[in-house]
Amino acid sequence: MRKNTVRGISFLAVLPFLLFLGSCSTVTDSAKSGYYTVKYGLKGPYYLDNHKYKEGIEAFQEELKSNPENAEANYYMGRLQLADDHPREAQPYLEKAARLSPKDADYLFWAGVAYGQNGKKDLEFKSYQRALELEPTHVEALTYQGHVYLERSEYRKALDNYKKVLELDPDNPSALYNRALVLNRLKRSAEERQAWLDYLSMYSGGPMAGQATIHLNEMGDFQYRNYLIGSRTITLESIRFQPVSPEIEKNSYESLDILGSIMKNNQKVSVHIVTYQKNNLKLAEARAKSVKSYLLNKYPEIDSSRLILSWFGVSEQIKTEKKSFKADESVNFITAVQDKNAALKK
């Protein structure tokens, strides 16, 4: 993807050079080209990075009136139209940029994105292919080509693409998530399970994390779980303890801190802390109290009455959309339902 740089050129340093070469037409044309490259390389990323899409569109409309055949101006106009959710308007600008500068892999990639958003799947795929012919390690083109293979149910090709992406960019969220999804389609369960864990270890927040957790839970793995806390569904790594002990493992502090922060910022939320320990009711009780104690010590803003404890000496029954499982030891967080009648009496 085109980085938000000006390719190492100082705009101020270019100006004297442009003035000095003003007499020679051939050199002047070259200088003008360099001037526009620097100018647009500054303006385009500014509008994109600051989400000033409409302002940017207006600015580049003026630029294109006087300089309609500039590839970079067309490119940024197309990028801004895409960012402003106008793929139909974006397509001709990105097409033109790729036509004017056919050896620029970024231009070809973004033209492909526009084609894809306009439902022109064959042209989309060809654009990614051409971009990769020019730049075989173009991460975005590899990623999006993988998406096309996934849509076509060409799962092995998609998997190959995502593996290449992760060799170049190990933290790439799209490749991490979709690699797991492809392994699901290929019914390669052991690899799929690890792939979901790999994704969640890097990206445990947001709707995609919630979906990854659903997939993982359907496989009977509850290292991560989704909880409805107040009006928000959050994904947390499951709370762990030292063996046969109420002492919380340190790597579980992060999950408790997320819960604590939510309760600190929303004083209306109360939560049931429900612990299960098969055949050991006392240990379940001690663990529930340990979780509450951690939260109250770390977040004194939380009133003790908002953390309601329950404990059971049996396994937790966990139901997913397709199956039911038993967890011999677990901690569950359930938002307490407010008694409306009690609230009215206050």
Residue pointed to by tokens 């044309």:
29
| Dihedrals phi, psi of 308, to nearest 5 degrees | -105, 125
Long-range contacts, stretch 234-242, CB < 8 angstroms, 24+ apart: 234/205, 234/258, 234/259, 234/262, 235/200, 235/204, 235/205, 235/209, 235/210, 236/204, 236/333, 237/200, 237/204, 238/330, 238/331, 239/291, 239/331, 241/287, 241/290, 241/329
Query: For residue 18, with 0-12 CB atoms within 10 Å meaning exposed, 13-18 middle and 19 or more buried, which class applies?
Result: middle
**pLDDT (average), residues 258-279:** 97
**pLDDT at position 125, please?**
98
Lookup: tokens for 311: 């404990």
**pLDDT (average), residues 278-297:** 98
Query: Do residues 249 and 234 make contact, with C-beta atoms less than 8 angstroms apart?
Result: no
| pTM recorded for the entire structure | 0.83
Query: Do residues 39 and 7 make contact, with C-beta atoms less than 8 angstroms apart?
Result: no
CA neighbor of 326 nearest in space, from 275, 278, 255, 274: 278
What letter would DSSP give residue 337? P
> For the chain, what percentages of helix, strand and coil (3-state, to nearest 5) are there?
60, 10, 25
Above 80 in pLDDT, residue 153? yes
300-311 pLDDT per residue, tens: 999 999 999 999
What letter would DSSP give residue 305? G
Query: For residue 49, with 0-12 CB atoms within 10 Å meaning exposed, 13-18 middle and 19 or more buried, which class applies?
Result: exposed
Above 80 in pLDDT, residue 329? yes
Question: Which range (65-79, 253-267, 286-300, 326-340) has the least confidence?
Answer: 326-340
Query: Rounded to whole angstroms, what are the CA distances from 60 to 68, 171, 225?
Result: 10, 34, 47
Lookup: tokens for 55: 């302002």
- Count of residues making up the chain: 346
Above 70 in pLDDT, residue 25? no
88-116 pLDDT per residue, tens: 999 999 999 999 999 999 999 999 999 99
Above 90 in pLDDT, residue 117? yes
**pLDDT (average), residues 270-283:** 98
Provide Rg for the chain, Cα atoms. Answer: 27
Above 80 in pLDDT, residue 346? no
Please count the helices (runs of H) and the strands (runs of E) in the chain. 15, 7
Judging by DSSP bridges, how do beta strands 329-335 and 324-327 pair with one another? unpaired
**pLDDT at position 337, please?**
81
Above 70 in pLDDT, residue 86? yes
Mean pLDDT estimate for the chain = 88
**Buried b / exposed e across 198-230, counting CB within 10 Å, b at 16+?**
bbbeebbeeebbebbbbbbbebebbebbebebe
- Structural domains of the chain, with CATH: 11-218 (1.25.40.10), 227-345 (3.30.1330.60)
Query: Do residues 195 and 219 make contact, with C-beta atoms less than 8 angstroms apart?
Result: no
